[in-house]
């Protein structure tokens, strides 16, 4: 790559993440989105913001404390102000738009004042039987210090009048609400007056607070919720067993440094100030919300409401084109590669491919990476069955998959218990590559079959995330995949890979080289084109190379779902598509000339971020079959570039402009195409 001047004018990464959540929140305000799905988008924003504070903002605060880290107090204040404004908008959409609309459809959340006598009696019985036995209010005094408050737990702070049973005037009490209690409760139909009526646990408790403090007067109260730094800090260089160290760390994760305090906007200032002092937080860390302090829990209302017309119509994903249900996967893959575009295509063939391998007596070995599979997984159950059947099973389990650590530790222990070989990747590098490799005896030779994917081996998220899966018996690809597995187990150097690009070794360098080839073609007046679909773009050298390519005359389209730090310039257009499905596939197209040899299309597990390129094990692979390559272009790139319903275009100031509301939607078109209705 030619030397280039420093890249100036990059957008703030944290602000870019908040801007993405504004685009998600905009889905909750779209009249063409079903009402319960609009509420779900509000829940998604809450979940995203939790992670933002637990991870991103926690790191940002730490960076602001370090000289030379490039984060000033002004930067910190600006991001915090953006977060406050976003959360205010979120509750405004909840209170003023979505909930009134749901009431018009006879779905209601009733507070204590709105409940009739029969409903109050039912709630009282529920409280006495299900809630009261689990609550232990703590009055604060020198022998009852402020209790430990777990990350994202629900709590009440109460100011009391009068004296306690021992004649003292301790005025502050804390009520911790156990996580096992349901946050949303549906009332029986016979007392709901023809409506679907729900009550929140917070409303149930606040209606009975005085019962928790007999002989005292409840003068003021508020629910509150604390968000803590939840990144697991384990010195991988200084532990002998990473799994044991992480399991120990999981017990302390809930009590990391306090980052954000949420209280209801009716909370008296002296109570919120008392909490800020207890958690050593500045005033800017206080979030006054007009409603429940944890909107994520309203997913229970969405799931519990009987209103299919207020949800997205189900998409019955078909079996992928070009793959027979009735023939052996191995026989079919010897003839051709198979591409699957999820969730438009069913994820079930991936499960069936592994199931056939498990039950085939000629299959000798199965190797798989495990990043996010979920706490229940048919794929993991099949790996366990394979080990029980005596096959050689190797599982590369990424123990540091954020917020999935416990599930992955549990799978690792179950796999080891049946004799599978379990390794945890490379110290200091997360294994984010998605690989499944099967070795089969066929006559006098061994043949490998593989599955590579841009997304996780998780059947649940495969129905919600767009990803590309690739089944193949290609000798180069499967040999390369085997070399990666060997390296992850042995830690040895591997031979140069033939087709796979691997981070942290060749992927970043080759991406920059492809961009440079496009740059040289543009300077020579040849066709010069880049289309990249990724989830985030924050890597400075890649952004620098893209700017140089655009300045040379290349035509560049970037489809970046989430955070993009590169503002648009002449030659570079950046769009983000936020629709019914979470865009998750990574597709990279480069053209640097007139012939077929002057283009390449890569599928990848990696985003264009420094962490993916240098601190993770990632892979990318070329689609060499011309028909499959064209299908990827036609499904994963072209319709997104012409989306006028779910697409937003990045502006130079970092804001996004919606491109339309009534035009074509890439996701809707693909669902219609794959369901056979088009």
ω before 303 within 30° of 0 (cis)?
A: no
Give me the active site residues, please: 432
Going 50 to 51 to 56 to 58, the CA torsion angle's sign is: positive
Tokens 């490379």 -> residue: 426
CA–CA gap between residue 163 and residue 171 (Å, rounded): 8
DSSP 569: B
Closest by CA position to 503, among listed 663, 377, 359, 612: 612
CA–CA gap between residue 368 and residue 391 (Å, rounded): 13
Q: How many CB atoms lie within 10 A of CB 313?
A: 9
Token pair in block for residue 450: 């593989």
Query: In which element (H, E) is residue 172 found?
Result: strand 172-177
CA–CA gap between residue 89 and residue 326 (Å, rounded): 52
φ, ψ for residue 459, nearest 5 deg = -60, -30
In sequence order, what are the residues at sequence separation of 6 or more whose Cβ sits closer than 8 angstroms to the Cβ of residue 305?
A: 36, 107, 196
Query: In which element (H, E) is residue 577 found?
Result: strand 572-577
Listed as own residue / partner, the contacts of 645-650 with beta carbons closer than 8 Å and 24 or more positions apart are 645/579, 646/577, 646/578, 646/579, 647/575, 647/576, 647/577, 648/23, 648/575, 648/576, 648/577, 648/578, 649/568, 649/573, 649/574, 649/575, 650/560, 650/564, 650/567, 650/568, 650/574, 650/575, 650/576
Q: 314-345 burial by CB neighbour count: b if 16+ within 10 A, else e?
A: ebebeebeebeeeeebbebbeeebbbbbbbbb
CA–CA gap between residue 455 and residue 590 (Å, rounded): 22
Closest by CA position to 446, among listed 362, 334, 552, 356: 362
DSSP 229: -
CB 671, CB 635: distance < 8 Å:
no
Token pair in block for residue 249: 């760390």
Task: List, as one string, the DSSP characters of 602-648.
Answer: EEES--BSHHHHHSEEEEEEE---HHHHHHHIIIIIHHHHT-SSSEE
Going 424 to 425 to 429 to 430, the CA torsion angle's sign is: negative
């Amino acid at each position: 790559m030619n030397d280039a001047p420093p890249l100036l004018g990059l957008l703030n990464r944290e602000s870019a993440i908040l801007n993405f959540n504004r685009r998600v929140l905009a889905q909750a305000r779209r009249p063409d989105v079903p009402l319960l799905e609009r509420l779900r988008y509000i829940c998604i924003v809450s979940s995203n913001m939790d992670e933002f504070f637990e991870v991103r903002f926690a790191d940002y605060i730490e960076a602001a404390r370090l000289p030379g880290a490039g984060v000033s107090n002004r930067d910190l204040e600006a991001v915090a102000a953006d977060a406050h404004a976003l959360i205010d908008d979120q509750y405004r959409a909840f209170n003023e738009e979505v909930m009134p609309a749901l009431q018009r459809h006879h779905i209601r959340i009733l507070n204590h004042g709105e409940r009739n006598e029969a409903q109050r009696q039912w709630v009282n019985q529920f409280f006495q039987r299900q809630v009261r036995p689990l609550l232990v209010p703590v009055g604060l005094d020198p022998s009852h210090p402020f209790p430990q408050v777990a990350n994202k737990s629900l709590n009440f702070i109460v100011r009391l009048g009068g004296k306690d049973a021992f004649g003292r005037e301790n005025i502050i009490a804390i009520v911790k609400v156990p996580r096992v209690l349901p946050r949303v409760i549906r009332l029986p139909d016979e007392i709901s007056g023809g409506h679907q009526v729900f009550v929140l646990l917070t409303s149930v408790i606040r209606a009975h607070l005085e019962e928790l403090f007999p002989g005292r007067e409840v003068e003021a109260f508020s629910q509150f919720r604390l968000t803590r730094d939840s990144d697991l800090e384990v010195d991988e260089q200084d532990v002998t067993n990473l799994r044991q160290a992480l399991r120990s760390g999981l017990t302390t994760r809930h009590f990391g440094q306090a980052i954000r305090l949420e209280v209801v906007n009716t909370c008296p200032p002296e109570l919120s100030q008392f909490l800020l002092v207890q958690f050593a937080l500045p005033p800017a860390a206080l979030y006054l919300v007009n409603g429940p302090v944890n909107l994520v829990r309203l997913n229970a209302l969405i799931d519990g409401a009987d209103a299919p017309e207020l949800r997205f119509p189900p998409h019955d994903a078909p079996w992928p084109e070009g793959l027979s249900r009735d023939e052996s996967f191995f026989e079919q893959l010897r003839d051709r590669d198979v591409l699957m575009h999820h969730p438009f295509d069913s994820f079930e063939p991936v499960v069936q491919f592994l199931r056939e391998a498990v039950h085939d007596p000629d299959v000798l070995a199965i190797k798989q990476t495990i990043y996010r599979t979920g706490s229940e997984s048919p794929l993991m159950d099949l790996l366990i069955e394979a080990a029980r059947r005596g096959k050689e099973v190797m599982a590369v389990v990424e123990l540091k998959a954020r917020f999935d650590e416990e599930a992955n530790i549990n799978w690792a222990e179950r796999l080891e218990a049946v004799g599978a070989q379990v390794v945890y990747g490379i110290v200091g590098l997360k294994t984010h590559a998605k690989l499944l490799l099967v070795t089969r005896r066929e006559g006098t030779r061994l043949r490998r079959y593989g599955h590579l994917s841009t997304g996780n081996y998780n059947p649940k998220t495969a129905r919600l995330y767009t990803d590309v899966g690739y089944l193949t018996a290609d000798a180069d690809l499967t040999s390369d995949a085997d070399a990666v597995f060997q390296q992850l187990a042995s830690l040895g150097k591997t031979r140069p890979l033939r087709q796979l690009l691997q981070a942290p070794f060749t992927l970043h360098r080759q991406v920059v080289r492809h961009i440079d080839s496009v740059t040289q073609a543009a300077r020579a007046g040849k066709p010069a084109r880049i289309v990249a679909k990724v989830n985030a773009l924050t890597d400075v050298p890649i952004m620098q190379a893209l700017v140089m390519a655009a300045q040379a005359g290349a035509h560049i389209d970037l489809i970046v779902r989430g955070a993009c730090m590169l503002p648009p310039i002449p030659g570079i257009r950046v769009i983000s598509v936020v629709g019914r499905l979470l865009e998750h596939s990574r597709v990279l197209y480069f053209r640097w000339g007139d012939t077929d040899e002057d283009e390449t299309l890569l599928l990848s597990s990696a985003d264009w971020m420094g962490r993916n390129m240098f601190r993770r094990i990632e892979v990318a692979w070329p689609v060499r079959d011309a028909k499959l390559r064209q299908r990827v272009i036609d499904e994963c790139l072209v319709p997104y570039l012409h989306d006028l319903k779910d697409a937003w275009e990045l502006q130079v100031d970092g804001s996004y402009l919606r491109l339309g509301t009534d035009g074509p939607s890439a996701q809707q078109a693909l669902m219609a195409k794959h369901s056979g209705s088009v």
